[in-house]
Structure 1
Amino acid sequence: MTAPQDHAPSDVPPAPRGGAGPVHSDTTQSAIRQSTSGMPTRPHGDDVHAAAGSATQPTGQADWSAFGPGGSGTAPPNTDEADRPAFEPDRGGTASADHALAEPQRVRRLKIALMVCGAAVTVGMGVAIAVLMEEASPPLRVGVASRPTGSHAPAAPPAIGGSSGASGAVPGNAGAGAAPANAIACPLPGGPAACPAMVAIPAGRYRMGSRRTDPDAQEEELGGAERAIAPFELSAHEITAGQWQLCVNQGACPPPAQPPQSSTMPVTGISWDAAAAYAAWLSQQTGQPYRLPTEAEWEYAARAGASTVFPWGNQLGQRHAHCGQCGTLPDYAGLAPVGSYPAQRGLYDMVGNAYEWVADCWTPSHAQPVPPAQSACHEKVQKGGAYDTLEADVRPVARTHGDRATPDVRVGFRIARQLQRTEQ
């Protein structure tokens, strides 16, 4: 999959699918969805270049023939003395000359007026075209997140457990919507916010990926079989830079490759191995069984009970998520604070904002079995698209991959928690 790369502003593109894409210069979807191995600061998608639209200028021209014979723009000289007005003094023929000179002056004034009007129309059309191109074309890629420049300034992350999007379970797709999980006491410094808020994901049956006839279906998305999904919990937001820093402070996690702008940003620039280390550290600190979600769990939760292309419907629309074609780049040229855009069944930013590591090893398609030992592979799956990727990359079924040991500044993660049986 890819990222638009960088798109609205981006060194910015998308795509990619290519990526907004995903925020590379290849324009093909296949080139956009490629491995990010060994390129920690490289975007997933190719830089998307805004397509230059052509505007048709007005074709109507003034009929200059109306101002004189043969289109010359001058009135015919008055040669009939009898036709001269009685009140006009005889100036030896100068009146005719003055009259002949007056007409070209009026024509010139009309020409100037028309030129001014034409220039104004051209400028207005140019501005309109530029605005339309900015909305319709993939954003350019940028490397560093910036503060919002528009009127949309998100508040703190919304309360967990909000409900929106598709309603119930769909056979062969995602199960019923998520619900808030029972909170546990957080023993970490900083209080409850230091521990990720979790959302309960109900059991269901789900077929991963795409069918060949689905919109934007890619080879790597094909071959999925329906399977049972056991109930589990998933963090409502991507792990934030503030939550990650607690692990760094205790020496269990490395600092991110790119320092975050604030503690409420999703932590990115961390490798798959570092993300797994965070889950192990959090488990040890809290006594709860945290881990990275599997690709099937992640995708099942991201669909939010819907059978549509996106959790909110079949059209990308505007401002449902943060991506290169979501209409949100004027708010944030890079990453946005977690929870800045609407939740789907209590889960925020499952698509857009930052790609997310999941537990599984990469396979060229779902028809190929995942290696049973997750430690046996170097390439790990990334899901969800990013702030600069194109429409195809923020479909929940889209997938790409990266080297497990290589940090990527557009890849973060969220964690799952295994449900524990309670004694009756």
Structure 2
Amino acid sequence: MPVTGVDYRDATAFAAWYSHKTGYPWRLPTADEAAAAAGERFAGDAFSAAAENPANPAVAWLRRYKEESAAKRPADPAVKARGFYGANANGIDDFGGNVWEWTSTCYARTTLAPDGSVESRTDNCGVRVLEGLHRAYMSSFVRDGKSGGCAVGTPPEHLGFRLVRDDTPLAHVKLAAARLWDRAAGF
């Protein structure tokens, strides 16, 4: 069964613990990595449809909200065993199931100029991107998606995570430094 009822801090703490336990660096995926892994099951961001009517992105937002709120799939409060929703074209199980997954990506508020270029961007890392049946935004301390925090669409049924192994040289150096620090501190 997937782990659920966890907030962003729980997920990152587990990643750090698991990294130390296995000797390999593990982390939450970025929203872009999760979207690529989800393949055809990636529903995207409600605001990405703004290109349909760049003069009025609210039209696209309302259309997307209506689609997501419609009963594409009835609410399913029971957590499902691994594999219940099947594999996607990438061979990865359960993307778009009933567990929304934390990512390392911060919510970004972007202001567009009249020509469509980015005028300003403000990152809010107290709110994180989750990937699931659709993209959602949630305060990092929330463990129950139905309690609020989802900006649009069906509220997340369960909050969980999956990890990716980070085999970049920098990740290995950081893990080795953390292990040395722990050894020096007597852990």
What TM-score do you get using the length of structure 2 for normalisation?
0.56
2:154 corresponds to: none
- 2:99 is equivalent to residue 351 of structure 1: no
Q: Percent identity?
A: 33
Query: After the TM superposition, which residues 19-418 of structure 1 pair with which residues of structure 2 at under 5 Å, given as runs?
Result: 265-303=1-39, 325-326=72-73, 334-344=78-88, 345-364=90-109, 369=121, 371=123, 377-385=125-133, 393=134, 399-408=135-144, 410-418=158-166
Q: Is the 2:128–2:140 Cα contact (8 Å) retained in structure 1?
A: yes
- How far is 1:370 from its partner? 6.9
SS at match of 1:362: strand
SS at match of 1:414: coil
- How far is 1:355 from its partner? 0.8
Question: Which whole-Å deviations, capped at 9, do the CAs of 1:118-175 have from their partners, x for residues lacking one?
Answer: xxxxxxxxxxxxxxxxxxxxxxxxxxxxxxxxxxxxxxxxxxxxxxxxxxxxxxxxxx
Greater helix fraction, Structure 1 or Structure 2: 2
- How far is 1:350 from its partner? 1.3
Q: Is the 2:102–2:129 Cα contact (8 Å) retained in structure 1?
A: yes
SS at match of 1:363: strand
Unaligned runs of at least 5 residues, structure 1: 1-264, 311-323, 386-392, 394-398
SS at match of 2:20: helix
Larger Rg: 1
Question: Which whole-Å deviations, capped at 9, do the CAs of 1:173-202 have from their partners, x for residues lacking one?
Answer: xxxxxxxxxxxxxxxxxxxxxxxxxxxxxx
Q: Is the 1:266–1:338 Cα contact (8 Å) retained in structure 2?
A: yes
Q: Over aligned residues, Cα RMSD in angstroms?
A: 2.9
Rounded Cα–Cα distance in structure 1 between residues aligned with 2:144 and 2:165: 24
Unaligned runs of at least 5 residues, structure 2: 45-70, 112-117, 146-157, 170-187
1:160 corresponds to: none
Rounded Cα–Cα distance in structure 2 between residues aligned with 1:350 and 1:357: 12
- How far is 1:348 from its partner? 0.9
- How far is 1:365 from its partner? 5.0
Higher relative contact order (Cα pairs below 8 Å, separated by 6+ residues): 2
